[in-house]
């Protein structure tokens, strides 16, 4: 970063507002961004509307400034007012201040607090597609309020921009696409013992291990994946590992696995912070989501040199060129899932080609360094 830019940002403060520091793609990107800004000696604070998230300890270990609003349920008006006033007080104390909000609730609350508290620059972020993510019409009203109050709006895929152009009342001149970034160095683990990790996970030498990393919710397509996986012939010795926190459907999915008698083949690993260690032990990655903004999990799988199969939705085709650095399939199609998983398990040359191209693509385009630099340039523009 050039000296004039550094001086300019060092005379201001950045407050990142997010719903919580629970596990998820947006939360992971916020930690990377805040850590990168702090390393540039830019005064950065994360304000989490809700406290006690799964990633809060990680944020503190990174020596990031974290303030929790302790919002309770929507019916707890007292906690809402106290958290809102705390955010307003923080913004006023950090003048001149840049406020950057992530996710629908924090976009709405954060842009209002930033406006009435005199923030120098207000930026909101759209991280997913409305069609499936925003199940209640009132979110559309909240979005339009935050869009109007924002000086800039960041997105992470052109699919989101196209949707905003179609259904939102928003000035597209405000909209800036900044791709997600990942820490590539985390995949270079000294003395990594792949066979030991596979043994711990119960993966034998002859097993082909598939993995999907996504929080357990209906839009992530876990049921489609499990039903498609059931149709794979036993002679392939395939295993499936599912990683993520429960967003309300885990019990149903575990029941489905029991119903289909897949308890030995399908493994629920829960929320895992050290994703690279697990990914590097796998043989292939599968994304069965019905919608994606821009998938961190796919980028991480590519960094682990895994061949990737992903549904042709949202930002996935912006990451994956079909047949070159991955395979795109139809959403909600268990037969397409089955057929392409079998194709990759049977074709060593194709797997090698895809994994090599995946690794090359993620290294050239999707580093955390590029993501952080893009945000710094955005903050400079204000």
Evaluate if residue 302 carries a pLDDT over 90: yes
How large is the average pLDDT for residues 134-160?
84
Q: Specify the pLDDT at position 131.
A: 57
The top-level CATH class assigned to 184-365 is alpha beta
Res. 136 pLDDT band, cuts 50 70 90:
low
Average pLDDT of every residue of the chain: 90
Under 8 Å CB-to-CB from 108, ≥6 apart: which residues?
A: 142, 143, 145, 146
How large is the average pLDDT for residues 313-318?
93
Q: Specify the pLDDT at position 73.
A: 66
Q: Specify the pLDDT at position 134.
A: 47
Q: 203-227 burial, b for 16+ CB within 10 Å, e for fewer?
A: beeebbbbbbbbbbbebbbbbbbbb
Q: Where are the domains of the chain?
A: 3-181+367-381, 184-365
Q: Specify the pLDDT at position 297.
A: 94
Architecture of the domain spanning 3-181+367-381: 3-Layer(aba) Sandwich (3.40)
Res. 10 pLDDT band, cuts 50 70 90:
low
Evaluate if residue 149 carries a pLDDT over 80: yes
Q: What angle do CA 220, 223, 224 make, to 5 degrees?
A: 85
Evaluate if residue 301 carries a pLDDT over 60: yes
pLDDT by residue (tens digit) across 196-242?
Answer: 999 999 999 999 999 999 999 999 999 999 999 999 988 899 999 99
Closest CA to 210 of 246, 242, 257: 242
How large is the average pLDDT for residues 313-331?
92
Closest CA to 62 of 86, 93, 97, 37: 37
pLDDT by residue (tens digit) across 17-34?
Answer: 999 898 788 899 999 999
Q: Residue by residue, what is the 3-state secondary structure of the chain?
A: CCHHHHHHHHCCEEEEEECCCCCCHHHHHHHHHHHHHHHCCCEEEEEECCCCCCCHHHHHHCCCEEEECCCCCCCCHHHHHHHHHHHHHHHHHCCCEEEEEECHHHHHHHHHHHHHCCCCEEEEEECCCHHHHCCCCHHHHHHHHHHHHCCEEEECCHHHHHHHHHHCCCCHHHEEECCCCECHHHHCCCCCCHHHHHHHCCCCCCCEEEEEECCECHHHCHHHHHHHHHCCCHHHCEEEEEECCECCCHHHHHHHHHHCCCCCCEEEEECCCCHHHHHCCCCEEEECCCCCCCCHHHHHHHHCCCCEEEECCCCHHHHCCCCCCCEEECCCCHHHHHHHHHHHHHCHHHHHHHHHHHHHHHHHHCEHHHHHHHHHHHHHHC
Evaluate if residue 354 carries a pLDDT over 90: yes
Q: Specify the pLDDT at position 39.
A: 92
pTM of this prediction?
0.88
Instruction: Choose between 246 and 141: higher pLDDT.
Output: 246
Lowest mean pLDDT among 76-80, 102-106, 259-263: 76-80
Evaluate if residue 4 carries a pLDDT over 50: no
Q: What percent of the chain has pLDDT over 70?
A: 94
Task: Specify the pairing of strand 97-102 against strand 208-213.
Answer: unpaired
Evaluate if residue 325 carries a pLDDT over 50: yes
Neighbouring CB atoms inside 10 A of 340's CB total: 20
- Residue 127 · residue 103 · CB < 8 Å: yes
Q: Specify the pLDDT at position 293.
A: 86
Instruction: Choose between 141 and 15: higher pLDDT.
Output: 15
Q: Which two tokens stand for residue 306?
A: 């895994």
Q: What percent of the chain has pLDDT over 90?
A: 72
pLDDT by residue (tens digit) across 60-93?
Answer: 998 999 999 888 766 778 888 999 999 999 999 9
Closest CA to 16 of 79, 57, 65: 65
How large is the average pLDDT for residues 189-199?
95
Q: Do domains 3-181+367-381 and 184-365 have the same CATH topology?
A: yes
Q: Specify the pLDDT at position 326.
A: 93
Lowest mean pLDDT among 6-10, 40-44, 311-315, 316-320: 6-10
Q: Which two tokens stand for residue 207?
A: 């097993």
Phi, psi of 289 (to 5 degrees): -60, 150
- Tokens 């967003």 locate to 247
Q: Specify the pLDDT at position 144.
A: 87
Res. 3 pLDDT band, cuts 50 70 90:
very low
- Residue 29 · residue 181 · CB < 8 Å: yes
- Residue 122 · residue 151 · CB < 8 Å: yes
């Amino acid at each position: 970063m050039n000296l004039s830019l550094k001086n300019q940002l060092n005379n201001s403060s950045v407050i990142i507002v997010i719903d919580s520091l629970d596990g998820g793609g947006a939360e992971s990107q916020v930690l990377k961004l805040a850590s990168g800004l702090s390393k540039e000696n830019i005064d950065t604070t994360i304000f989490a509307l809700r406290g006690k998230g799964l990633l809060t300890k990680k944020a503190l270990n990174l020596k990031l400034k974290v303030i929790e609003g302790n919002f309770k349920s929507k019916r707890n008006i007292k906690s809402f007012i106290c958290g809102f006033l705390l955010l307003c007080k923080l913004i006023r104390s950090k003048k001149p201040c840049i406020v950057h909000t992530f996710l629908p609730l924090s976009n709405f609350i954060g842009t209002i607090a930033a406006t009435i508290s005199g923030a120098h620059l207000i930026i909101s972020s759209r991280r997913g597609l409305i069609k499936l993510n925003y199940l209640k019409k009132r979110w559309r009203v909240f979005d339009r309020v935050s869009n109007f109050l924002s000086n800039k709006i960041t997105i992470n895929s052109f699919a989101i921009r196209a949707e905003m152009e179609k259904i939102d009342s928003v000035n597209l001149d405000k909209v800036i696409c900044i791709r997600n970034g990942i820490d590539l160095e985390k995949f270079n683990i000294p003395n990594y013992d792949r066979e030991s990790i596979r043994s711990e996970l119960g993966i034998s030498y002859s097993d082909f291990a598939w993995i999907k990393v996504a929080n357990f919710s209906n839009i992530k397509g876990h049921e489609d994946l499990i039903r498609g996986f059931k149709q794979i012939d036993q002679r392939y010795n395939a295993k499936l590992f599912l990683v993520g926190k429960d967003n309300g459907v885990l019990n149903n999915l575990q029941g489905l696995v029991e119903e289909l008698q897949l308890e030995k083949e399908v493994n629920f690993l829960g929320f895992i912070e050290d994703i690279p260690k697990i990914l590097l032990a796998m043989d292939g990655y599968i994304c069965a989501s019905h919608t994606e903004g821009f998938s961190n999990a796919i980028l991480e799988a590519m960094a682990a040199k895994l061949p990737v199969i992903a549904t042709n939705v949202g930002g996935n085709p912006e990451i994956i060129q079909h047949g070159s650095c991955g395979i795109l399939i139809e959403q909600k199609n268990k037969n397409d899932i089955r057929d392409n998983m079998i194709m990759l398990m049977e074709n060593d040359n194709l797997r090698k080609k895809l994994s090599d191209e995946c690794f090359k693509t993620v290294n050239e385009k999707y580093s955390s360094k590029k993501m952080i630099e893009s945000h710094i340039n955005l903050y400079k523009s204000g």
